[in-house]
Amino acid sequence: MSLSGKTAIITGSNSGLGLGIARAFAAEGIDVVLNSFTDTEEDHALAAEIAEEHGVTARYIKADMSKGNEARGLIEAAGACDILVNNAGIQHVAPVDEFPADKWDAIIAINLSSAFHTTAAALPMMRKAGWGRVVNIASAHGLRASPYKSAYVAAKHGIVGLTKTVALECAQEPITCNAICPGYVLTPIIEKQLPDQMKTHNMDRETVLREVILVKQPSREFATIEQVAGAALFLCSPHGDQIRGTTISLDGGWTAS
């Protein structure tokens, strides 16, 4: 079955991993809806660029994923949702007893609750169309914990649990739900951390990448945006029909031990 003509909504997709997934989907003929909480000329220009390059329909719809009504409103505004990629996420690092309550609330809302709201709004559309795919971008931290990341780890573990529940509820329908669990991916967020890490550890860029950032990934290599996008496409293909409620790890061996 060709995916051409399907509509995919990717949350948090005006940069980084989400944008990479959107571009990969568009290259396969999938119409895409980009999203973030901003509403700039650059956001809409990205959609126009993707549409022109791949000959698909591409739109940008502003919605703040920290607000449940806006998360549901994104799906409603799109008007169709064959494929939902829940990718929006933020991070904050601090010990539990020093973790700001507002940061906890924001991370849980954006990284976890938004996926509940978008999925709840998208499933009726998928059922009406007779086909659907929900792909949740979790993390190696959905399967393993790290210190100082309590909210992020809790949210990503929650995403894995939500994935299993949705998959079971849709088990006798042509609708699947799975989670992709990347390890570290070299995105703009990681790039922004490098100067401070280099200064703190008195290391050059490559040493920081290998000995600080990638210390938990046995391969000592980043997963790539293209690899994560490829996994998402595989789950949306007919080969993914019986892959339901599971996690796919792209983490260089992080969760193997």
Angle in degrees, CA 179, 254, 243, rounded to 5: 25
Question: Where on the phi/psi map is residue 130: left (φ > 0), alpha (ψ -120 to 50), or beta?
Answer: left
Give helix 16-27 / helix 225-236 axis angle, nearest 10°.
50
Give the C-alpha separation, 97 to 163, whole Å.
29
Q: Is 184 a catalytic residue?
A: no
Torsion angle of the four alpha carbons 240, 241, 242, 246, in this order, in degrees rounded to the nearest 10: 50
Give the C-alpha separation, 255 to 140, whole Å.
7
Task: Provide the annotated active-site residues.
Answer: 152
